[in-house]
């Protein structure tokens, strides 16, 4: 038997392995450019690019990953050591085996001394003595230095607290940090999901603490950190109640601070942190004054995205060190002159700012590798980039730039070019000399011909020309054998023959290309993940049989599609969109357990959902205007957020959805539903369309739906709407043709209410709502405000902008949903249905 059990002898999850040496990471280094990581020592061997994906990258320390990796290594060593002991000492109890194995793990060296462990256990067994663990000093290290605790009891019962250096707490109920006073040797601590934790006072005794990660917790104060002189990393991103950085004042070792998404407004405390190198205020919308940073001269990375910052003068002292600056969404920033002669600047992102010109950058462009100026609507010239010989990535999407001629000097290094929405750019001849171009995105630009890409096809991997209507021939891409993504949506392309040699294709988007009909060029696309062919002439999906990795299939509007048998082997399928097709049978989806979205609206021959019985991950279920009469097969799909069964006239029972506690939107228009008990207690429910559910009388289950803002009860048999009086967020209520409803006074105190439609309802006399200037009441004979004759074709709501769902009482709805918004449009009879 070998003397030592090494880390190379045990199996550790791939997520903890270094992309260079393939062993568990030591002092992990990560990057923002790719998901891979390497050891600190390995990063010196690949300083500028990831060894796995070959992307250019900037490595940064990731103490959190280091902790998790070390914990995984120790657990694996302990498990393997225990297994070997178990084979030779069957008479020893399991608890004793595990205790001995744990005590002989050496965290520093990542080994277990098997011979010494064996001798110790054999000696104790031979002597017949009570087995006790070896005392301090008998092995290389008999103290666990890394620990992950999932609950308070586990944390309290930890032995050797005084030796633990790396601690991760994942208990969502953890709140009292005073227990951490018993961990004096702590060097790094991470709080994951601790929503109830509000302070860090318990860390005041951790004099050796170097890293704190409390991102996404309920943290309100940093008190306690002022007593940690060695602290160099603080991550409190997403702690939205945190308003002060004062405890960090005077921490001379502090190098990295991430406080994006907090309530911080004043950063004066940082003026006394001279070692700061990386700071991020991403999303800290109250931050406006950066003058405290003028006292620091070594800032390397600064992120001010979506703050109120307007002046960059505070960065002048750091111009000799600055490498990365992110100003996304700083709409008041227009002057880049403080960055002039920043000779180490490699990454600059000024997207969505008021920047009008890049000339003030001066000689800073000499080292620039990545420049993003998306949505800088007044930017019209990139002439300064003639002096940017290292430029790898350029994003000038949605700007007024009209000429790419200044980029000629960048053609030896340029890898990514983004021209989306550049209506003045049509000439791409500058790319003829490109040597490394891998990504070209020119959607909705004036580009009409890609023939100039012939010389750089060998390196192309991503091409997007959506909305470039003049593009009809892409034979030039036949040599782009490394192509992984092609977006042709809305072009005049007819043949995909040029893709027949692209074996690495992962995404093909030909939505709204009505001339595309033949998929046979994709027969060899074994890596295909997304096939998007909505509103094309495709009818035969057989060529996609070889695409076992398919995750997204969108053939909505392809009326010739009948057979989806090819999906039988697509076990990774997440989205299946076949609306307005001739599909009859869902059985090919029976093995697609990962399904999240299914859309078969207007597939009028579908009459059962039984094949979806095992799809527990479903989020969106759309079967409007089909023949289904039962949703029992969805009883296990408790994650459904959107359900649309409008015009399923045979559907009456929705009780199988009672466990769907995440429902946000439900459309049951023109169904036979008579009970909505499934909505009871569903606090997330936002929009409900029950129009013309003639048998529906009781809406009590909607009581207490605190996020409900849009309710359509048109044409129902509802008599009492008092349940809606408890829905504090209610904005839009449609009671047209509800002849039994005579009283709406229960809505008098619903503060968010905007619009109420009472056409042909039982409410005939002036109601209390008409005295509220903020509520529009439509459909009463005696109108105080509003206009009863006015068409309600658009729902008046605070949320209706950009979130319209057209609905007709004769045809099923067409859904257009933007995040957190869902409202209804106009029916054939002039009524707003939801």
Mean pLDDT value across residues 90-97? 71
Q: Which long-range contacts (CB under 8 A, 24 or more apart) does 533-536 make?
A: 533/508, 533/558, 534/558, 534/577, 535/511, 536/510, 536/511, 536/512
Mean pLDDT value across residues 789-802? 43
Where among 640, 666, 689 does a domain terminate?
640
Look at residue 491 in the predicted model and tell me its pLDDT: 96
pLDDT tens readout for residues 136-188: 333 333 445 667 788 878 888 877 788 888 888 988 899 999 999 989 989 88
Look at residue 15 in the predicted model and tell me its pLDDT: 79
Mean pLDDT value across residues 621-646? 96
Question: 14 lies in a domain?
Answer: yes
Beta strands per DSSP E along 40-165: 60-61, 105-106, 111-113, 146-149
Task: For the beta carbon of residue 116, count every other beta carbon within 10 angstroms.
Answer: 16
Residue 556 near residue 533 (C-beta atoms within 8 A) = no
Mean pLDDT value across residues 762-786? 74
Q: State how many domains the chain has.
A: 2
Distant-in-sequence, close-in-space partners of 96: CB < 8 Å, separation ≥ 6: 131
Number of helices (H) and strands (E) in the chain: give both, helices first: 5, 37
Burial class (CB in 10 A: 0-12, 13-18, 19+), 8: exposed
Residue 602 near residue 579 (C-beta atoms within 8 A) = yes
Token readout for 376 is: 């800088």
The CATH number for 9's domain is 3.30.40.10
Choose between 504 and 135: higher pLDDT.
504
Question: 15 lies in a domain?
Answer: yes
Whole-number Cα distances in Å, 336 to 33, 310, 365: 24, 10, 12
Look at residue 793 in the predicted model and tell me its pLDDT: 36
Q: pLDDT at residue 409 above 50?
A: yes
The percent of residues in the chain predicted with pLDDT above 90, rounded, is 64
Candidates 161, 187, 155, 158; CA nearest to 174 is: 155
Q: What is the CA radius of gyration of the chain?
A: 32
- CA atoms 262, 267, 269, 275: torsion sign: positive
The CATH number for 605's domain is 3.80.10.10
Look at residue 601 in the predicted model and tell me its pLDDT: 97
Question: 349 lies in a domain?
Answer: no
Pick from 43-52, 129-138, 344-353, 645-654: least confident = 129-138
Residue 114 near residue 136 (C-beta atoms within 8 A) = no
Q: From CA 613, how far away is CA 604, in angstroms rounded? A: 20
Look at residue 145 in the predicted model and tell me its pLDDT: 67
Q: Which of the four pLDDT bands, split at 50, 70 and 90, describes residue 801?
A: very low
Q: pLDDT at residue 224 above 70?
A: yes
Q: pLDDT at residue 122 above 60?
A: yes
554: which strand partners?
532, 577
Look at residue 46 in the predicted model and tell me its pLDDT: 80
Q: pLDDT at residue 456 above 60?
A: yes
Mean pLDDT value across residues 509-516? 97
pLDDT tens readout for residues 553-599: 999 999 999 999 989 888 899 999 999 999 999 999 998 999 999 99
Mean pLDDT value across residues 77-91? 78
Look at residue 123 in the predicted model and tell me its pLDDT: 59
Q: pLDDT at residue 47 above 90?
A: no
Task: For the beta carbon of residue 703, count every other beta carbon within 10 angstroms.
Answer: 16
Look at residue 206 in the predicted model and tell me its pLDDT: 92
Mean pLDDT value across residues 319-337? 95
Where among 127, 145, 168 does a domain terminate?
127
Measured at the CA of 361, the angle between CA 357 and CA 366, to 5 degrees, comes to 125
Distant-in-sequence, close-in-space partners of 153: CB < 8 Å, separation ≥ 6: none
- 3-state DSSP assignment of residue 757: strand
Q: From CA 460, how far away is CA 476, in angstroms rounded? A: 12
Q: From CA 628, how far away is CA 812, in angstroms rounded? A: 14
Distant-in-sequence, close-in-space partners of 116: CB < 8 Å, separation ≥ 6: 104, 139
Token readout for 91 is: 């008479």
Question: 544 lies in a domain?
Answer: yes
Q: pLDDT at residue 127 above 80?
A: no
Orientation of helix 114-127 relative to helix 94-103, angle to 10°: 140
- 3-state DSSP assignment of residue 422: coil
Measured at the CA of 471, the angle between CA 467 and CA 477, to 5 degrees, comes to 110
Question: 450 lies in a domain?
Answer: no
- CA atoms 16, 20, 25, 29: torsion sign: negative
Choose between 733 and 82: higher pLDDT.
733
Whole-number Cα distances in Å, 772 to 751, 780, 782: 10, 15, 15
Residue 165 near residue 183 (C-beta atoms within 8 A) = no
Mean pLDDT of the chain, nearest integer: 86
Q: From CA 142, how far away is CA 105, in angstroms rounded? A: 7
Mean pLDDT value across residues 360-370? 94
pLDDT tens readout for residues 271-317: 999 999 999 999 999 999 999 999 999 999 999 999 999 999 999 99
Token readout for 373 is: 């100026």
Question: 103 lies in a domain?
Answer: yes
State which residues form the domain around 114: 4-127
Residue 28 near residue 61 (C-beta atoms within 8 A) = yes
Burial 244-265 (b: 16+ CB within 10 A, else e): bbebbeebeebbbbbbbbbbbb
Dihedral angle of Cα 528, 529, 530, 533, to the nearest 10 degrees: 40
Look at residue 3 in the predicted model and tell me its pLDDT: 67
Measured at the CA of 378, the angle between CA 377 and CA 382, to 5 degrees, comes to 100
Residue 328 near residue 354 (C-beta atoms within 8 A) = no
Q: From CA 394, how far away is CA 417, in angstroms rounded? A: 5
Q: pLDDT at residue 116 above 60?
A: yes
Q: pLDDT at residue 199 above 90?
A: yes
Look at residue 2 in the predicted model and tell me its pLDDT: 62
Choose between 375 and 58: higher pLDDT.
375
Question: 615 lies in a domain?
Answer: yes
Candidates 232, 236, 167; CA nearest to 198 is: 236
Where among 622, 640, 658 does a domain terminate?
640
Q: From CA 699, how far away is CA 688, in angstroms rounded? A: 11
Question: 121 lies in a domain?
Answer: yes
Token readout for 786 is: 């509003």
Q: pLDDT at residue 43 above 80?
A: yes
């Amino acid at each position: 038997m070998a003397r030592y059990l090494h880390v190379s002898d045990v199996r550790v999850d791939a997520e903890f392995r270094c992309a260079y040496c393939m062993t568990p990471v030591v002092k992990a280094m990560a990057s923002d450019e790719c998901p891979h990581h390497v050891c600190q020592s390995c990063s010196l061997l690949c300083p500028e690019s990831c060894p796995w994906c070959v992307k250019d990258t900037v490595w940064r320390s990731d103490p959190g990953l280091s902790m998790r990796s070390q914990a995984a290594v120790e657990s694996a060593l302990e498990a393997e050591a225990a297994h070997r002991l178990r084979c030779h000492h069957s008479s020893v109890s399991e608890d004793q085996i595990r205790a001995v194995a744990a005590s002989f793990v050496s965290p520093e060296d990542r080994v277990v001394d098997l011979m010494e462990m064996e001798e110790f256990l054999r000696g104790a067994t031979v002597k017949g003595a009570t087995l006790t663990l070896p005392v301090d000093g008998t092995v290389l290290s008999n103290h666990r230095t890394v620990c992950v605790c999932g609950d308070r009891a586990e944390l309290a019962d930890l032995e050797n607290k005084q030796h633990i250096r790396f601690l991760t707490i994942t208990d969502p109920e953890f709140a009292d940090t005073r227990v951490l006073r018993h961990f004096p040797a702590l060097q790094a601590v991470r709080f994951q999901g601790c929503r109830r934790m509000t302070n860090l006072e318990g860390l005041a005794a951790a004099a050796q603490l170097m890293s704190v990660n409390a991102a996404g917790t309920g943290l309100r104060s940093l008190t306690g950190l002022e007593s940690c002189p060695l602290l160099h990393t603080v991550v409190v991103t997403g702690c939205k109640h945190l308003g002060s950085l004062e405890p960090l004042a005077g921490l001379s070792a502090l190098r990295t601070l991430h406080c994006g998404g907090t309530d911080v407004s004043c950063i004066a405390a940082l003026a006394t942190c001279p070692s700061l190198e990386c700071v991020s205020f991403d999303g800290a919308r109250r931050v406006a004054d950066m003058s405290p940073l003028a006292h620091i001269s070594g800032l390397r990375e600064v992120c001010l995205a979506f703050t109120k910052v307007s002046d960059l003068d505070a960065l002048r002292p750091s111009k000799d060190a600055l490498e990365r600056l992110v100003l996304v969404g700083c709409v008041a920033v227009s002057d880049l002159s403080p960055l002039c002669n920043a000779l180490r600047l490699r990454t600059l992102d000024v997207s969505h700012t008021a920047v009008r010109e890049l000339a003030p950058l001066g000689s800073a462009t000499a080292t620039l590798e990545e420049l993003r100026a998306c949505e800088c609507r007044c930017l019209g010239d990139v002439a300064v980039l003639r002096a940017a010989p290292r430029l790898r990535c350029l994003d000038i999407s949605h700007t007024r730039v009209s000429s790419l001629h200044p980029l000629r000097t960048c053609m030896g290094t340029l890898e990514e070019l983004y021209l989306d929405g550049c209506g003045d750019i049509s000439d791409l001849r500058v790319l003829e000399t490109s040597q490394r171009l891998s990504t070209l995105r020119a959607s909705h630009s004036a580009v009409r011909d890609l023939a100039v890409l012939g010389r750089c096809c060998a390196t192309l991997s991503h091409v997007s020309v959506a909305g470039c209507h003049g593009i009809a021939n892409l034979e030039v891409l036949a040599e782009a054998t490394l192509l992984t993504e092609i977006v042709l949506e809305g072009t005049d392309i007819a043949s995909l023959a040029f893709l027949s040699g692209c074996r690495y294709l992962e995404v093909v988007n030909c939505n709204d290309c009505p001339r595309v009909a033949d998929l046979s060029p994709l027969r060899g696309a074994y890596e295909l993940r997304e096939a998007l062919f909505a509103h094309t002439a495709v009818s035969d999906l057989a060529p996609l049989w070889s695409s076992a990795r398919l995750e997204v299939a969108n053939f909505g509007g392809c009326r010739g599609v009948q057979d989806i048998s090819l999906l039988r082997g697509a076990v990774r399928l997440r989205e299946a969109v076949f609306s307005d097709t001739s599909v009859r049978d869902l059985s090919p989806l029976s093995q697609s357990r990962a399904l999240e979205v299914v859309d078969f609206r207007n597939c009028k021959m579908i009459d059962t959902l039984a094949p979806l019985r095992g799809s527990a991950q479903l989020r969106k279920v759309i079967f409007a205007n089909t023949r289904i009469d039962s949703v029992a097969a969805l009883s296990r799909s408790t994650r459904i957020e959107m359900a649309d069964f409008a015009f399923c006239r045979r559907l009456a029972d929705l009780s199988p959805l009672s466990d769907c506690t995440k429902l946000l939107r439900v459309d049951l228009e023109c169904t036979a539903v008579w009970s909505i008990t499934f909505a009871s207690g569903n606090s997330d429910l936002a929009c409900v369309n029950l129009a013309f559910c003639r048998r529906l009388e009781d809406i009590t289950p909607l009581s207490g739906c605190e996020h409900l803002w849009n309710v359509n009860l048109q044409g129902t048999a509802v008599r009492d709407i008092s349940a809606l009086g408890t829905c504090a967020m209610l904005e839009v209520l449609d009671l047209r043709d509800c002849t039994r409803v005579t009283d709406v006074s229960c809505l008098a105190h619903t503060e968010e209410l905007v619009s109420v439609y009472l056409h042909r309802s039982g409410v005939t006399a002036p109601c209390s709502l008409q005295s509220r200037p903020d509520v529009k009441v439509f459909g009463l004979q005696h109108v105080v405000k509003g206009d009863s004759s006015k068409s309600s074709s658009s729902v008046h709501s605070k949320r209706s902008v950009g979130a319209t769902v057209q609905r007709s009482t004769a045809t099923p709805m067409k859904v257009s949903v933007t995040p957190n918004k869902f409202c209804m449009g106009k029916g054939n009879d002039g009524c707003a249905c939801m």
